Amino acid sequence: MTVQKYFTPSIKVETDKCRFTETELTTQYRYVNSHVSKNESNGSIEVNLSEQDYEFKVDLRLPKLGVMLVGLGGNNGTTFVASVLANKNKVKFHTKDGLKEANYFGSVTQSSTIKLGIDSEGNDFYVPFNSLVPFVSPNDFVVGGWDINKANLSDAMARSQVLEYDLQRRLGEEMSKMVPLPSIYYPDFIAANQDERADNCINRDPKTGKVSTAGKWSHVEQIRSDIQNFKRQNDLDKVIVLWTANTERYADIVSGVNDTADNLLAAIKGDHEEIAPSTIFAVASILEGVPYINGSPQNTFVPGVVDLAEKSGSLIAGDDFKSGQTKIKSVLAQFLVDAGIKPVSIASYNHLGNNDGFNLSSERQFRSKEISKKSVVDDVIASNQILYNEKLGNKVDHCIVIKYMNAVGDSKVAMDEYYSELMLGGHNRISIHNVCEDSLLATPLIIDLIVMAEFCSRVTYKKLNAGEQSYESFYSILAFLGYWLKAPLTRKGFKTINGLNKQRQGLESFLRLLIGLPALDELRFEERLK
């Protein structure tokens, strides 16, 4: 590993649970959980506590990291590159509101804090989120990637109409030198209105202009070669691939085609029609042993992809960035249900004018987005059987509308109505009107997903009770990244958790335990008890 930096802890915890060396942090932690069983015949509930001792090991060496985006020339891709360059070079630029300095506002890893404890006067004491354990800095990212359009990133940035003109002017020269690698274009998976844009495809004949969906295994090999070349040319230790390209239609799950790893690989080699471009990128990344993150709502991770990741020990995470409207929904729905209020309908309306909106104007692509946006309240509903049951109804009437309106550009308009039932037949209606700059909300999520995925790749563990001698990596699906994703993948047999507060609590508790601190609670006995 070509080490850029060593992490030096600035927070010293008085504990015998963890120890630092120059290159490793090792921590012992006892995980206690409550396992519940219900006797259906008499309704009695039995709770058993389980304990498992773990030893975690964190590699403190910070690697030189490469980031390859699928959709590099899109709104998110160009905004991501611009954010890295602007912050790395400490760019200042003018807006109508005055002089601004580059920052990473909106990023949890770069701009949020975490409670460490209380000070001598009982006040909460906060530290930067990224100060507890060693995270790579986005300023050090080496960025490349693919796009179906061949515009250089300066022209693509101007086309996206996301960033202030003066910032574009200051970054234009450097970004004009960056040109996306040819990508994969299977017309059946994205809207027909994207065809004119697709002039940079490895599967389009330069002479005839025709697109071929044959040779899909050669496309896997080309993507693998691109990753290898990018890593070698930039002398990188690691690469992470992230999909931020167009939303695809859902792929049909077909027995014998994409249901197992072996069937999937055979189906790719046989050019089966239900193999999506995003799945090609996922398979190529898994075979290269690099983490792959899906930032769009389509079902890239068909069962065969998950099976392949498990067998390869590769890391994956998805699906769909959880940025504005859906993030608010995951918080507000949880708040209402936790307050004993019963949401009976949620109506969500969006209109936006960027290329994402243009692609989503196609019904099959919209359906992928609808599924990911609806699923965000499922675990909230399941958490309260008093409000939601067979007698009173166990569903929320949930409607989602997305319309393309060119004039609003990247400023997505979201309007939501939460209609809830109160006691004794009463009702409550909450209406929210939210205007957000879509790519400036999504880009910090990309940063966080990459930072956290890379960190998780440096964490290993072993079970002490079982007498295990060797350390293991995390399970292939990085569930910790669910905080930033609308429809997070989960291990088979486990229910997806979408509540934002629960996801954040899990993240904070994990970072705390690694430096020898217990999970945070708010009992505050100092002020409540004599």
Which residues are the active-site residues? Answer: 320, 369, 412, 486
CA distances from 218 to 191, 281, 485 (A): 24, 12, 31
Distance from C-alpha of 130 to C-alpha of 219, rounded to nearest angstrom: 38
- How many whole angstroms separate alpha carbon 217 and alpha carbon 364? 25
Residue 225 and residue 218: Cα distance in Å, rounded?
A: 10
User: Can you point out the beta strands (E) in 204-279?
Assistant: 238-243
Q: At what angle do helices 153-160 and 75-88 cross, to 10 degrees?
A: 110
Q: Evaluate the omega torsion of the peptide bond into residue 319 and state whether it is cis, within 30 degrees of 0.
A: yes
Of 74, 93, 91, residue with least CA distance to 162: 74
211 contacts 204 by C-beta, under 8 angstroms: yes
Residues 6 or more apart from 252 whose CB is under 8 A from it?
274
The Cα–Cα gap between 276 and 327 comes to: 27
Q: Is 259 exposed, middle or buried (0-12, 13-18, 19+ CB in 10 A)?
A: middle
What is the residue whose two structure tokens read 């300095």? 101
487 forms beta bridges with none
Give the count of alpha carbons within 13 A of 300, CB side only. Answer: 33
Query: Count of CB atoms within 10 A of residue 509's CB?
Result: 16
Strands (DSSP E) along 324-410, which ranges?
Answer: 342-352, 397-404
Beta-bridge partners for 294: 243, 318
- Please list, in sequence order, all residues whose beta carbon lies within 8 angstroms of the beta carbon of residue 347, skipping any fewer than 6 positions away: 399, 416, 417, 419
Written as one string, the DSSP assignment of 442-472 is HHHHHHHHHHHHHHHTTEEEEETTTT--S-E
Count of other CB atoms within 10 angstroms of residue 79:
24
DSSP 3-state assignment of 247? coil
Residues 451 and 135: their CA atoms lie apart, in Å, by 6
Q: How far apart are CA 360 and CA 363, in angstroms?
A: 7
DSSP assigned state of 180: P
DSSP 8-state code for residue 475: P
User: From CA 102, how far away is CA 87, in angstroms rounded?
Assistant: 5
